Amino acid sequence: MSRFPGLCVLTCWSFLAFLSLGCPIPASAADDQDDIEGQVERSMMFTQHARIDPKTGFRIPINDKIDIATPADIVTGIQAAFEAIDRGIWFGLEFDYSLFQIASGVNPDLVTGDTEGLMTEFDRYDILFTFDYDIPLGDHLPDVEKSGFDFYSPVFTFGLGLGAAIINAAETDAARETRKFDPEYAFLARPTVGFRFPFHENMGLFAQASYDFVPEFQMEGVLRQTDEKVEIGSTKVDISCFNFFFGLSFTF
């Protein structure tokens, strides 16, 4: 019986020694802690930026009844985006305006003619939510000792925009006497590829090519005498087109 107190004391001291050494952390838990520390470090190093891209360019409809739109016809737009999640990932909002002319020689007959033949021109407004991803093609920085502009390495970029196209058509003289076009709203999807050429920390040039997919739609309007809603034209209108934009980019 006299041995039990000594055994208890020895056991207690052994337990305290074990606690003083600390419990070993399993390898998986240590790895998780390293990953968390790495993520925190990367997030602290990542600085968000904003970007504004005013632009102009050329728009080539796949519908041969519509003329190509150029800067002389008023092709303009602007995109505002911010860098989120990680470097090179951009989310933004884009707005474009273009004035399209109807090609000459399109049949303007009210009953059997193409719908485009009942228009002289139309305004097109595009609004899109955009996603873009930048891939730098090098690591060159401007030489501060060199006079004039010294370009950074170019940046390849690709992305996708989803939104709506709004069409506001002007009637021909013959159609205007009896009918008036309503504004039309259509779904718009725009995949984009391009290059950026930064020549300053906050400025650069860019050029991009894209394709606008817009499902064909039937133009509608009203009869001027009765204000009755009617379909105008005998064919659906296709305003899908290829775009070639260029402009100056500002990054903050």
CA angle, residues 188, 190, 195, in degrees to nearest 5: 160
Q: Of the given ranges (10-14, 104-108, 231-235), which has the lowest mean pLDDT?
A: 10-14
**Strand, coil or helix: 174:** helix
Residue 9 has pLDDT above 50, yes or no: no
Structure tokens at 85: 């999640």
Q: Of the given ranges (14-18, 95-99, 101-105, 248-252), which has the lowest mean pLDDT?
A: 14-18
**Strand, coil or helix: 42:** helix
| Average predicted confidence (pLDDT) for the chain | 85
**Strand, coil or helix: 128:** strand
DSSP tally for the chain: helices H, then strands E = 3, 11
Write down the pLDDT at residue 32: 57
Rounded to whole angstroms, how far apart are CA atoms 137 and 125? 34
For residue 21, give the amino acid letter: L
- Portion of the chain with pLDDT greater than 90, in percent: 65
Put simply, whether the predicted model's pTM sits higher than 0.75 gets the answer yes
- The residue ranking higher by pLDDT, 52 or 7, is 52
Question: Tell me: the pLDDT tens digits for 152-199?
Answer: 889 999 999 999 999 999 999 989 999 999 999 999 999 999 999 998
Question: Tell me: the pLDDT tens digits for 139-157?
Answer: 876 554 555 567 788 999 9
Strand ordering across the sheet containing 220-223: 179-181, 220-223, 229-231
**pLDDT tier at 33 (50, 70, 90 boundaries)?**
low
**pLDDT tier at 85 (50, 70, 90 boundaries)?**
confident
| Domains of the chain in sequence order | 48-251 (2.40.160.20)
